[in-house]
């Protein structure tokens, strides 16, 4: 059981000169096995939410629970995939993928077996001896996914994992993430800037308000995961709905087209 519950979670970063309220009494409820996407304007505390859920940060007030237990520190079955993939350039593909198991003192033989299985699942079995520097962006992202898979995680937290990829590679990896979720049914929280990605990978899409972050609205997306969903009219409707909601949150500045609501969410790189 790995449902994620946040109750009135607040966090303020103490900075030089002034403090920044990242999250203000945020409530969130992600059911066990539910894939949720979180989207919102720049600096709305999306990444902070993931750091809290992974146990790397502690809230100033409020509580986070995973599977009913309060998150007091990094949890064994939680995997976090960061924006820049969090790979270590000095370790080979094999050792990067095995890192989580190594840190958890899993015996070497079992480690190798689990890692080889997860690398095969993401299509990297032939590259075990390569270094991340030798891989393409898409392959590096697959490696980050393989590392999470090797942990046998039941809660997968992803912070804009695909934002550095080109459009085709990106869709490819979205398909991979969806396929893995279909097979494993892990709880999944995906933070993204891409409206299409949120609709493709989130059964619910949570829109956060600008700083300080709170849940502004929730879009239900029940057909997520159906074959060919990306090219259905409903997919486009959900995307348009999200654009409008994001525009209301000021996520897209002056770029919104009032007629169609066609804009991209902010902070594109």
Partner 1 sequence: MSGWGRKVVGYLGAVAAILVFWQLGALALDSRALPGPVPALAAFFSAFGSELAPHLAVSTWRVVAATALGTVLAVPLGLVLGRSPRADAVAAPLIFLTYPIPKVVFLPVLLVILGLGDASKIVLITLIVFFQLLVTARDAARAIPAGSVLSVRSLGAGRLDVFRHVVVPASLPDIFTALRIGTGTAVAVLFLAESIGGTTGLGYYIVDAWGRLAYDAMFAGILGMALLGVVIYELLEIAEARLCRWTRVER
Nearest-Å Rg of the Cα atoms of the chain is: 18
* Closest C-alpha to 251, from 236, 230, 265, 261: 265
Minimum distance, C-beta of residue 53 to partner 1, in the bound complex (Å): 10
Q: Kindly give the pairing relationship between strand 4-14 and strand 215-220.
A: unpaired
Task: Indicate which single residue of 2, 39, 116, 151 sits in contact with partner 1 (rule: CB under 8 A).
Answer: 151
For residue 212, is the peptide bond before it cis, meaning its omega torsion is within 30 degrees of 0? yes
Site string for partner 1, 99-138 (x = CB under 8 A): xx-xxx-------------------------xx-xx----
Task: Indicate which single residue of 82, 164, 176, 215 sits in contact with partner 1 (rule: CB under 8 A).
Answer: 82
Site string for partner 1, 204-233 (x = CB under 8 A): ------------------------------
- Nearer residue to partner 1 within complex by CB, 87 or 195: 87
Site string for partner 1, 239-258 (x = CB under 8 A): --------------------
Minimum distance, C-beta of residue 89 to partner 1, in the bound complex (Å): 5
Q: Does 74 bind partner 1 (CB under 8 A)?
A: yes
Q: Please report, as residue ranges, which positions from 6 to 65 form the binding site for partner 1 (by CB under 8 A).
A: 51, 54-56
Stretch that binds partner 1, among 74-82, 166-174, 210-218, 261-269 (CB under 8 A): 74-82
- Nearer residue to partner 1 within complex by CB, 52 or 205: 52
- Nearer residue to partner 1 within complex by CB, 87 or 251: 87
Q: DSSP letters along 213-263, please? A: B-EEEEEE-TTTTSTTGGGSHHHHHHHHHHHHHHHHTTTTGGG--TTT---
- Nearer residue to partner 1 within complex by CB, 37 or 153: 153
Q: Which residues bind partner 1 (CB under 8 A)?
A: 51, 54-56, 74, 76, 78-80, 82-91, 99-100, 102-104, 130-131, 133-134, 147, 151
């Amino acid at each position: 059981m790995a449902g994620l519950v946040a109750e009135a979670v607040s966090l303020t970063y103490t900075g030089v000169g002034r403090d920044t309220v990242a999250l203000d009494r945020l409530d969130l409820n992600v059911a066990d096995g539910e894939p949720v996407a979180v989207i919102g304007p720049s600096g709305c505390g999306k990444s902070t939410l993931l750091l809290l859920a992974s146990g790397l940060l502690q809230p100033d007030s409020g509580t986070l629970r995973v599977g009913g237990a309060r998150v007091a520190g990094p949890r064994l079955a939680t995997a976090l995939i960061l924006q820049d993939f969090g790979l270590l350039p000095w370790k080979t593909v094999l050792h990067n993928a095995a890192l989580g198991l190594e840190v958890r003192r899993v015996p070497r033989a079992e480690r190798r077996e689990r890692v080889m299985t997860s690398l095969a699942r993401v299509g990297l079995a032939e590259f075990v001896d390569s270094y991340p520097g030798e891989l393409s962006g898409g392959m590096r992202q697959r490696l980050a996914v393989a590392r999470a898979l090797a942990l046998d995680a039941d809660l997968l937290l992803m912070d804009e994992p695909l934002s550095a990829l080109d459009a085709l590679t990106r869709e490819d990896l979205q398909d991979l993430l969806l396929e893995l979720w279909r097979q494993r049914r892990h709880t999944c929280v995906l933070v993204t800037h891409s409206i299409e990605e949120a609709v493709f990978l989130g059964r619910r899409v949570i829109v956060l308000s600008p700083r300080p972050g709170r849940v502004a609205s929730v879009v239900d997306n029940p057909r997520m995961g159906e074959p060919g969903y990306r090219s259905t009219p409903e997919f486009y409707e959900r995307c348009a709905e999200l654009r409008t909601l994001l525009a209301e949150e000021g996520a897209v500045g002056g770029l919104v087209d009032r007629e169609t609501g066609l804009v991209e969410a902010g902070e594109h790189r």
